[in-house]
Each structure stands twice: as C-alpha cells, then as structure tokens.
Amino acid sequence: MDNKINMKEKRLIAKSIFMTHVCRIGIIRTAFGGGLMYVSILEFIFLHLTTIVVLYNWILAPALKLKRYKIRNFIVLDRNRIDRMRMFDQINCLFCGYANGTAHLWNIQLDELASASAKKGNIFAKFIGILYSMLLAVFLICNFIFSKLLFLVISAFLGLHWAKTSEIRNKLNEENYAGNYPFLFKKLIRFAKIYAKSLATNLEQIESAWCPLTHMKREEASYPEHHKNFYQWDKLDDVIEVLAKEGTVSERKPKY
C-alpha cells in the first residue's frame, strides 16, 4: 500500500520541469533566464543554413572531399513524444534538441575540416569556399559577440558557468588545430571552432537543466557527449526529483 502511495505522489511531483525550477529559484529568474534562450533561435537557424548546409555540405565537402553527415542524425526532435510531459516543456525540449544538435554537428564538421588538407580537391571550388568563408566570418564575429552577451544575461539569472574562450583557444593552438591549412584559412577555422565549442559548452548547461532526457534510440544518430549524464526518456519522474534538488544533471552545478 505504501509503495502505491509513493508512486502516486511521485506522479504528482512530475507536473512540469519549468515549475520545478520556479519552486527552486523563483518565477522571475526562471521565466527570464529560460525565456531569453529563445532569443537565440535565429542564431541557430543562421548557423544551420550558412555554415552547416551552404559552407560545409555544398562547398567545402565536395571541394576538399570531406565526409558528409546527415543532418537528421544530429538534430533529433522527438522529446515532444515523452509521456506526461507538459506542452511548454515539450517546446523547450524541441528547442534544446535543435540547438544542441546544431552545435554538435557544427563541431564535428569543423573537426573533419581541420583534419583535412587544402592541397587536395578542386582549385576553383576551394577559392569559392575561402571567399565565402571570409564573407561569412564577418557575420560569425557579430553572432559570436551576440551569443556571448546573451549567455551573459542568461547565466546571470540561472547561475550558469561561462565557457572560457581563452582556454579553448590555447588548447587549439597546442594541438595545432587545422595546421595543414594556410595561415588565414587556419585562423578562420580556429575562430569558428572557438565559437562552436563555446556554444556547445554553454548549451550543455541549458540542456542539462531543462531537458536532461535521452532521445528515443536510433542507431545511426549521434548525440553530444554530455548526454551520458541524462536519464532515459521514460524517466521523467526521476529527472524532476534531481532538478528539484540540484537544478541540473550537469557536472557543473549552478553557482547560485
């Protein structure tokens, strides 16, 4: 009998991930910190279309004979099908799936690009790729600044940790990241990697706090490394309990 009562109480707890954060840190911090995440949706659409589709898939992959990746194996949108999850939480999880999948794929594409060489491939296509990359870099710089400022505000509300760009840059220099390329193109690739890695690091904290449930398994899909900390998609009750106590499943707990 006691077990039945406990299970019933447990189901009642799992009302909403959003409300769990409200109970933990208050409505103002939760609403503003969580709501501001959606300001970045245009950033991810821009990155998706310009860097992932046009630059990599249409220009660099054929020009440098790079490996192609299926976007649907990285941007997985299925958490809205989780049983008993409230509609607002489903929307949040769809956003996390899109944002984190985009960042994850971009990082993998950059690693593939960095490990290749500019010496092979079509010369004309490489020229177009470099020209497009230089034009795109202007917009990426603006996006990077916007992304940093936005996360600064979000982290102020939610107590999140900054991704340290200096550490990322130093590590790339030590690894001689994209070292096979000419100086200018190498610098462009490294800048893009700093942006992509910073973005993924920041998004890890958001997803780990707002939708730390695995996707429904698909063999060919690729997920970010931090998903190893997530609960199975049918363990919503367990997630609610952890979020109520710690606020996240990330190894980096909120600062306040």
Give per-residue pLDDT as tens, 53-78: 999 999 889 888 899 999 999 999 99
What is the predicted pLDDT for the residue at 12? 41
What is the predicted pLDDT for the residue at 127? 72
Instruction: State the burial class of residue 191 (Cβ atoms within 10 Å of its Cβ: 0-12, 13-18, 19+).
Output: middle
- Rounded to a whole number of angstroms, the CA Rg of the chain reads 20
**Residue 14: closest CA among 85, 91, 81, 79:** 85
pTM of the model: 0.90
- What average pLDDT is seen over the chain? 89
Spatial distance between the Cα atoms of 221 and 215, rounded to a whole number of angstroms: 9
